[in-house]
Structure 1
Amino acid sequence: MPVPRSRRSVLLLSAALLSLPAGRAAAAPAARAGDAYDALRGAWRELLLGSGFQPSEAPFAGKLALLGNRAAAHRSTLAAANGSLWPDLPLTASASITGSHTRLATMAQAYAQPGTGLTGDPGVADAVLAGLGHLHDQVYNAATSPFGNWWDFQIGSPQALLDTVTVLYDRLPAARLADHLAAVDRFVPDSCVGSYTGTSTGANRVDLCRSLALRGILGKDPAKIALARDALSPVFPFVTSGDGFYADGSFVQHTWLPYTGSYGAVLLGGLAGLLALLDGSAWAVTDPARQLVHDSVERSFAPFLHNGLMMDAVSGRSTSRGDPRTTPLGFQGGDHGRGHGVLASVALLGTAASAAENRRWRALVKGWMQRDHYSPVLDDTDLTVPALALLKAVRDDPAVVAAPGPTGHRLFPAMDRAVHRRPGWAASLGMASERTAFYETGNGENLRGWHTGAGMLQWWGDTFANGQYTDAFWPTVDPYRLPGTTVSRKPLADAEGGAWALPRPDASWVGGATDGEYAAVGQSVRGLSSTLSAKKSWFCLADSIVCLAGAVRSADGAAVETVVDNRNLGAAGAHALTVDGTDRPTDLGWSATLPGTRWARIAGHAGYVFPGGATVRALREARTGSWRDINTGGSARPITRRYLTLWFDHGADPAGAACSHVLMPGATAAETAARAADAGWVAVLANDGDRQGVAVPSLGVTAVNFWVAGTAGALAADAPACVLVRKHGDGTATLCVADPMRARTGLTVTWRRPVAAVLDRPETVTSATTGSALTLVFGDLTGRAGATQRVRVALA
């Protein structure tokens, strides 16, 4: 389902969907003379432009000046001609039609907003209306047929067009209004929401409903507004396949892609705006299933928000859009830019939610804002003026107490993602399976995201390393050495696998089990266009993650590597690397093979422990790339960043290699050395193609990923499964069991440890035997979607 690189740009331009002015009641349209349609049009205009802010004060003055400068530049280059409105946007390309409407919308906002330098300038308004007429007469009218990308005709252009008409409604002749509405009817007919399939699902469906609703409001057509309202209903319920929200909190778009942070964010912002707009009117959204969208704030979005940023693992090809050239209005971009937009959406949705939800969400938003030290939210020139007004009101409200950062573990089996949060840091894990594509490329975007689903392990500190992936990471990192991955260095072509092909590995054992705080996660890895295979496990614990790679095989004739970490040190970073107590050189170009390494630490980042010692490779280098390398719409300007990389070299064509390490985010050298010296802290029970498991006695944890039936330590399973056991100080223990393959019609798990009684068990446990050992017999797990089955027992 191709969507152009300008998608986010267009949505951001009309991102008053993400805001309301402080102190304004969202549910009731503004009181205006006229009928209900005029009231709704006035309410949408306020959503687009905002009110109640001081245009001469920060952060609004700078934002309004930037808007005015951008609009003035568009005005100065506007030159209507046959086949174009701007010389650089030929109307033979669908993206140029959207781009032209978008520039006109920018000019309209600059005309209507205060403090832009173009405020109230009739020449600007006339130029915008003439430009709309030219686009209508040339290409966007009821008599032409769509071409190029469907999104430009059904979403990008009509949204910008209808927003512009809303802003300049009082200056638009009735005949021209009818022309523009007829064009929208041509390209966004009622039939586009006739069935919940194809391009009319998830975020796309919300976008289509937005156009239908505005078409109805501007044309005073009650049936259109009702259709838009009713067509939202298929978006609300949980899905079990394809696009939408899943019961486990996953959000999928394009059938196979985790997209909470991009398409999901668009959906959230769009729904927030429509719900706020229609509430209190005759067309209010009353479907009780809308509550599932409210629940998604904490179930789906909050887990992936860390100190104001939105994690890359659920943002798809949006990670290649960190270049200001690809977005308007000085886009800061990256994970923080995506996160800030979601913060504004959450705040807006709260105005159409219950009082309790609104209070809770405002506390979350305030906490995220306060902790975003790397990219302060109110300094984000990507946010619209109304969004800034709403977020500033949250920040300045003394009644809102900032919510602290959460701790715990969340698994998202439906999209093969996991998030681990601990005091002081957070991590995410991106995997691929027969359910989840390796990566997505299309429209010339994300050309080298090949290995982002190969077990990429990203992590951030609370007060450090929050710019790790924001600061030009994606155009400069070695795409074969993404942190945490095991990959073949077989050369891959840009967009390997094909645009929109969404290639998926032939692997079903991907997932894990969690008690909500700790977790065992595993991935049967397959290489993209490669013979690579491996078994990977991550055991997520109190202050660390134990990482295993086993059964590493390949016949590509290329080197295979498991990347311990690959840290972006910035443009001039020279962070010290300490290995077994000795500081290594900080010279660029330094590389070394370090046999017998017990531990290493990168100053200001993390400690790494290698149980039993290992041969580790290290490299300190400056890497130069450009956004155009990974996104054809990006700048070709060279960017250089310094990297410090640690990895295991399995050599060419390994036939069963294995390795292990412990990641300790934020650890000091002393803490790392102490962990390495404690030989009994972790025992690797198995690390091969049959089982991978660890025991950590000090935490009471034993966890095993059974790739096949077998035994490891005190645990046994008669079929593939994931098992996590955790003993507690009160004489109880919790056993967490999952069937990541979703194939078990029966499963028996044994824990060879005396157990007195089973205190609590799910209905999937058909029998439980206690005594000198615990034996749990599970029934059919195929319908559990990989979810964890928790059993609580009393120890003997």
Structure 2
Amino acid sequence: MPPDRLEPAVPHLSRRQVLSLIPAAGLLAAAPPARAAASGADHARLIANTVAMLAGTPDSNTRPEVAAKLAAILRTARQRLTAMDRAGDGELFAGLTLGADDAALRQAFQYLYEIALATRTPGGELDGDATVQRRVVEGLQWLHERHFGDQTTGYYGNWHTWEIGIPTHAGRTLVLLADRLREEHPDLIPTYVTTMDGYLRNGENGDVDLDSRFHTGANLADITANRILQGALTADDARVAKAIADQATVFATIDPYRLRHGVTDGYYEDGSFIQHHSVAYTGSYGRILLTRVVQTLKTLDGVTTGSGLGEVVYRWITDGFAPLIFEGWMMEIVKGRAVSRTTTGYADVGVIVEAIADLADHVGDDRALALRKYVKHLPAADTGAFVSPVSVARYEEIRADPAIPAEDLNPPARSVAFNAMDRAVHRRPGYAFALARSSERISKYEYMNGENLMPWFQGDGASYLYLAGEDQREAFGVDYVTVVSPYRLAGVTAPVEERRTVPELYGRFWYENPGHPLAFTSSSESQNTYVYFPRGRNAFSGGATLGAYGVAGFVQSDDVAFAAKREGLLPDDFVTYRNALATKSWFMLDDEIVVLVAGVSGQDGRAAVTTVDSRIAAPGEAVAVTGERWDGRAWEPGDTGAPRWLRYANDTRGTAVGYAFLTRQPVTAGVETVTRSRRVVRTGNPDTPVTKHVFTASVTHPAGGHVADLAYALVPGATEAGLRGYTRGTLRVLANDRHVQAIQHQGLGIVAANVFSDGPRLAGRMLVDGPASVIVRSGERTVVALSDPTMKRDRVSVVLHGPRLRADSADEGVKVRRVPGGTLIQATTRHAHGRTFIATLR
């Protein structure tokens, strides 16, 4: 029978289709000024909705579950007022020096917002406190007069502060105090709006520019959400209408072959999310975008009819976020530079849960129930991180409702190819496997602003094996990237060398050379291309899925900076590093993930090391490494012989991972105690020493001479007895070189292959016209999955040798015909962007 097919990924919506879902925005945008004033948006409703979202309502704030949130709002406000009381000369808040640090100025506006929030929180001790509100107003006046109004001295530091950070806090403060400002200081709101327009320097004439590389994705959602509030405050229908229409563009599925405004940032048909043009970013910017658009839906409630947009966001959750969340933890592969922050992981998902709980009010009944079931399925979130008291009440109501059963949005077994962002996720009861690749389309990593200081190999096949029941803060997160060597990330093949961070190389957070033809400055396109998030040079990065099974392939390459330096395009003092070369495949099955590595070269006379796995544990945890050699003798740490299998066990957690080697190579494996400061991966982290047990298993590929190819399987939850009997004729490596990598699993009836070279290549009894990825599963029916991992081919095909078969069903674009000696399956892959095509034969 054909495998179960999940519902289609994020529906493909054009900008025209998206705008049709918000007729109010279209009407406002089309109406002439006089008519717009008569039939325009309900500005008072927009403001009231926003105040209720931020401060809560009398109903929500009387619920006992919300008490902690209200107490936190009050506590923060009192802390800020105390800092105001203690401010010295030239300060608005004690200890916050203004005038040169843009982050400090943003904080000052944030502090004013936090005070204002407490004065509008129903049931709070400061609710309606006129004296405190006047202090906030005076603070707004003071900041504008001394540090924000004069744009000849402003706009230093990060552009985001001036175009997004400050306007967010200032705009929300103005909304909270709108009535008082209109009565007592009617000029302050228009003054601030005019100034914020002036700081929108990456826009056009003080407004959003959809052709700007800065006005995309989450950044665009932030800017437009702010402009909706500005329009409501100034009764400017045109501003509100254009902001809604501009934000609506983020709901359109990105079609890489028909880009709008040249924008590659956003959600793709396969559930991928990209920000910064080439960075896999669901877990950070994707999360921010999700939060912002759901907040906008709440702001617009009763003002526009945008319910159809909720259905689009629902697909973001099911196909984009849910696969990447494991037991309440956001996976590392989609965090960009945020992987080095101390608050990622569970906190990321807490913010997402708030958005999911709110979104349930903006979708159809069936989808709403599915979202509420998922909220109940996920571990309890820290509601202290929620923005809205109303959301806290809604979330706790869902959790307490006995009529809502807990249910995952993921099926128990799921394999997801996020090929648009070079990522893969494979889930089974008990574990999840996440894989990060890169290509000429997707960045190898993201470094920026002193964050993620040692990222060099995070997109070179780095993998993360999450085990059920663990506190993932003890297994991954910031401590993992802190104590695990950047050259020994699990799954990575790295050259043997030492690299230096950007601050070490250049004495600042970026490479500065404005006089060069490429004009290197902190936010320049050249900085993005060669420093912040460089792409690879390889086309082959992708794979196929067949039901709950998957295959991924990757040709490792140098990055664009190294190539450009060799071509003489970069300055002499610009430092680049050469990578190791390798051809890799991952075959993601039920009990194991089989990894094949071939064609390894450290280049330039260097050795290279492939890390089979790296895992961390707390110093007090009982960890052990055991194994067996091919001759049947016990393998122990320090043994230079080739192991047939190894097993890493954390007896304290009750978890284990097995490593079954399918080729015979010496493996270096063991546990060491490592202490490092979290500041080594991010300059803004506290200088906190972290001590962990670090387990590493790796294979060295010597420089020069023949390099043996490597094959092994990761076996989550393996026992020693199971590893002793592993394979037993069930699993075979059919090919493993730089042209073809293929395996056969007889127990599952699966043959899978990556063919990296042009032209027909044999993989077992399959003849594959490469480059291509193929999975074939035999049983009552034969099911074939095909994809083009290069995203460049018009078609891919495979011939199955043996009895001739005919099509029972096939995806659009797939042809099946009999040929001498077998059956040809051909898929038209032009503009499919790595999508899998499936045919069922009999």
Matches within 5 A, 1:589-608: 592-603=639-650, 604-608=655-659
Deviating beyond 6 angstroms after TM superposition, the runs of 4 or more aligned structure 1 residues are 114-117, 581-585
Letter of the aligned partner of 1:643 in structure 2?
V
- 2:198 partner SS: helix
Offset of 1:93 from its aligned partner?
A: 2.6
Q: Return the TM-score normalized by structure 1.
A: 0.86
What residue is the counterpart of 2:621 in the other structure? Answer: 573
- Give the Å deviation of 1:631: 1.4
> Could you tell me which residue of structure 2 aligns to residue 330 of structure 1?
none
* 8 Å Cα contact 2:581/2:603 also seen in 1: no
Query: Which 10-residue stretch deviates more, 116-125 or 334-343?
Result: 116-125
Aligned to 1:94: 102
Query: Partners of 1:226 and 1:190 in 2: how far apart?
Result: 17
Q: State which drifts further: 113-122 or 687-696.
A: 113-122
Structure 1 counterpart of 2:774, one-letter code: V
Q: Aligned partners of 1:106, 1:44: CA distance in 2, in Å?
A: 15
Match of 1:201 among 203, 210, 216: 216
Aligned to 1:308: 328
CA distance in 1 between partners of 2:76 and 2:352 (Å): 24
Q: Give the Å deviation of 1:767.
A: 4.9
| AA of the residue aligned to 1:606 | V
Does the 8 Å CA contact 1:447/1:630 hold for their aligned counterparts?
A: yes
Query: Which of 680, 688, 709 is the aligned partner of 1:629?
Result: 680
Using the alignment, how far apart are the partners of 1:453 and 1:150 within structure 2?
A: 27
* TM-score, normalised relative to structure 2: 0.82
Distance 1:647 1:656, change over 3 A: same
1:224 to 235, 239, 243: 239
Equivalents in 1 of 2:247, 2:123: separation in Å?
37
Aligned to 1:329: none
Name the structure 2 match of 1:141.
149
Q: Secondary structure at the match of 1:226?
A: helix
**Partner amino acid, structure 1, of 2:196:** V
Once the 2 structures are TM-superposed, how far is the Cα of residue 383 of structure 1 from its aligned partner?
6.2
Contact 2:489 2:611 in 1 (8 A): yes
Alpha-carbon distance in 1 for matches of 2:641, 2:617: 21
Q: Which residue of 2 aligns with 1:522?
A: 553
Contact 1:275–1:285 under 8 Å retained in 2: yes
Cα distance, 1:187–1:672 mapped onto 2, change above 3 Å: same
Paired AA for residue 553 in structure 1: S
Deviation at 1:483, TM superposition (A): 1.1
Q: Equivalent residue for 1:151?
A: 160
Any idea what the Cα deviations from partners look like across 1:2-40, whole Å, max 9, x if unmatched? xxxxxxxxxxxxxxxxxxxxxxxxxxxxxxxxx932232
Letter in 1 for 2:395: L
Q: Partner amino acid for 1:615?
A: P
- Give the match for residue 730 of structure 2: 681
Q: Which residue of 1 aligns with 2:176?
A: 167
| Structure 1 pair 380–474 and aligned structure 2 pair: CA distance change class (3 A) | farther
The equivalent residue for 1:513 is 544
**1:554–1:584: structure 2 CA closer, same or farther, 3 Å change rule?**
closer
The C-alpha deviation readout for 1:712-748, integer Å capped at 9, x for no partner, is 21111233111111113xx211111111112223444
Read off the aligned partner of 1:292 and give its amino acid letter: V
In 2, Cα distance between equivalents of 1:61 and 1:627: 34
Matches within 5 A, 1:41-52: 41-51=47-57, 52=59
CA distance in 2, matches of 1:484, 1:424: 20
CA distance in 1, matches of 2:296, 2:386: 21
2:430 corresponds to? 424
Question: Are residues 627 and 134 of structure 1, via their aligned partners in 2, closer, same or farther at CA, if it must alter by over 3 Å?
Answer: farther
Alpha-carbon distance change, 746 to 115 in structure 1, aligned in 2, over 3 angstroms: closer
The one-letter code sitting in structure 2 at the alignment partner of 1:294 is Y
Distance apart, 1:228 and its partner CA? 1.4
State the partner residue of 1:765.
Answer: 814
Residue matched to 1:734 = 783
- The verdict on how the C-alpha distance between 1:401 and 1:72 changes in structure 2, with shifts beyond 3 A counting, is same
Cα 1:471–1:719 change in 2 (3 A) is closer
Residues 559/573 of structure 1: CA separation in 2 closer, same or farther (3 Å cut):
farther
The 3-state SS of whatever aligns with 2:461 is: strand
Cα pair distance change 1:716/1:86, threshold 3 Å = farther
Cα 1:761/1:417, change in 2 over 3 Å: same
1:267 equivalent to 2:289? Answer yes
In the aligned structure 1, how far is the partner of 2:820 from the partner of 2:397?
A: 60
8 Å contact kept, 2:327–2:468? yes
The 1:612/1:453 distance shift into structure 2, 3 A limit, reads closer
Aligned to 1:451: 457
Q: How is 1:220-299 mapped onto 2 (pairs within 5 angstroms)? A: 220-241=235-256, 242-281=264-303, 283-285=304-306, 291-299=311-319
Please give the alpha-carbon distance, in whole angstroms, between the structure 1 residues aligned to 2:132 and 2:706: 68
Give the match for residue 349 of structure 1: 359
CA 262–411 in structure 1, closer or farther in 2 if over 3 Å, else same: same
Paired with 1:489 and 1:268, the residues of 2 have a C-alpha distance of: 41
Say if 1:154 and 1:379 are closer, same or farther in 2 by CA, change over 3 A.
Answer: closer
For 1:107-160, what per-residue CA distance to the aligned partner results, in whole angstroms no more than 9, with x for missing partners? Answer: 223444478776665554333222221111112227555333221111100101
Aligned to 1:181: 193
Q: Which runs of 5+ in 1 are unaligned?
A: 1-34, 323-332, 370-375
Task: Quickly say closer, same or farther: Cα 1:522–1:636, change in 2 above 3 A.
Answer: same
| Matched residues, number | 732
Deviates more, 1:238-247 or 1:120-129: 120-129
Question: Is the counterpart of residue 401 in structure 1 residue 405 in structure 2?
Answer: yes
The 1:471/1:783 distance shift into structure 2, 3 A limit, reads closer
Letter paired with 1:641: K
Partner of residue 392, structure 2 = 388
Residue type of the alignment partner of 1:219: T
Whole-Å separation in 2 of the counterparts to 1:732 and 1:382: 49
Matched AA of 2:783: T
1:542 lines up with 2:590 in the alignment = yes
Q: Sort the Cα spacing of 1:673 and 1:65 in 2 relative to 1 into closer, same or farther, 3 A.
A: farther
- Kindly provide the amino acid, as one letter, of the partner of residue 342 in structure 1: I
Q: Is the 8 A contact 1:626 1:637 kept in 2?
A: yes
- TM-aligned CA deviation for residue 620 of structure 1: 0.9
Instruction: Select the residue among 482, 485, 491 that pairs with 2:492.
Output: 485
Could you give the per-residue CA deviations for residues 288-341 of structure 1, whole angstroms, max 9, x where no partner exists? 56643332221212111222121111111111121xxxxxxxxxx221111111
- The CA distance in 1 between the partners of 2:168 and 2:320, in whole Å, is 26
1:108-123 aligned at under 5 Å gives the runs 108-113=116-121
C-alpha change, 1:658 and 1:388, in structure 2 (3 Å) is: farther
Contact 1:593 1:618 in 2 (8 A): no
CA contact (8 A) 2:556 2:582 kept: yes
Residues 494 and 580 in structure 2, CA contact (< 8 A), matched pair in contact too: yes
**Paired residue secondary structure (1:343):** helix
What are the superposed Cα offsets for residues 218-239 of structure 1, whole Å, 9 maximum, x if unpaired?
2222222111111122212121
Change (3 A) 1:176 1:507: same
1:582 and 1:464 mapped to 2: Cα distance?
32
| Contact 2:291–2:352 (8 Å) recurs in 1 | yes
1:743 alignment partner, one of 792, 809, 825: 792
Distance 1:464 1:355, change over 3 A: same
